[in-house]
Amino acid sequence: MADPMRIRAKVEGDKTVVRVLMSHEMETGQRKDSAGKVIPAHFIQQVTATHNGKTVLSAQWGPAISKNPYLQFQFSGAKAGDKLQVTWIDNKGDKRTDEAAIAQ
């Protein structure tokens, strides 16, 4: 199981700004190791953020997202104390979900 994500969600005016830092190799499948063997691709393919069960952002990613991916977006309709969940799934089927409370 991969390391937890760091999720910051903060109310700013009438919006909630979300910043997520994930922990993932994001191996492209283009690189070779010292023996000249191709290192197999290993990267996050799908990301979903939900607030009160409603999807507020979903994404499909390719291997060209940087290692330890960063994501920022903002949405309306949440208040401080609400929970925000983020889930990712990678190309090997590994999966991770983390949750954060929205800060004032």
Partner 1 sequence: MKQFNAQRREALKAGSATAIFGLFVSAGLVSPSHAQGAWNQAAFSAKGIADVVKGLGGSAPTPTKDVSWGSTPEIAENGAVVPVAVESKIPKTESISILVEKNPSSLTASFTIPDGTDPMVSTRVKMGETSMVHALIKADGKFHIASREIKVTLGGCGG
Report the interface residues with partner 1, using CB under 8 A: 15, 26, 28, 30, 45-46, 48, 54-67, 69-77, 89, 91
Which residues does 70 contact at the CB level (< 8 Å), separation at least 6? Answer: 19, 20, 21, 22
* Comparison of 27 and 99: residue with beta carbon closer to partner 1: 27
* Comparison of 77 and 81: residue with beta carbon closer to partner 1: 77
Report the nearest approach of partner 1 to the CB of residue 103 (Å).
Answer: 18
Report the nearest approach of partner 1 to the CB of residue 2 (Å).
Answer: 17
Report the nearest approach of partner 1 to the CB of residue 52 (Å).
Answer: 11
Which among 81, 90, 78, 93 is positioned nearest to 22, based on CA atoms? 90
Work out the angle at residue 69's Cα, subtended by the Cα atoms of residues 55 and 49, and round it to the nearest 5 degrees. 10
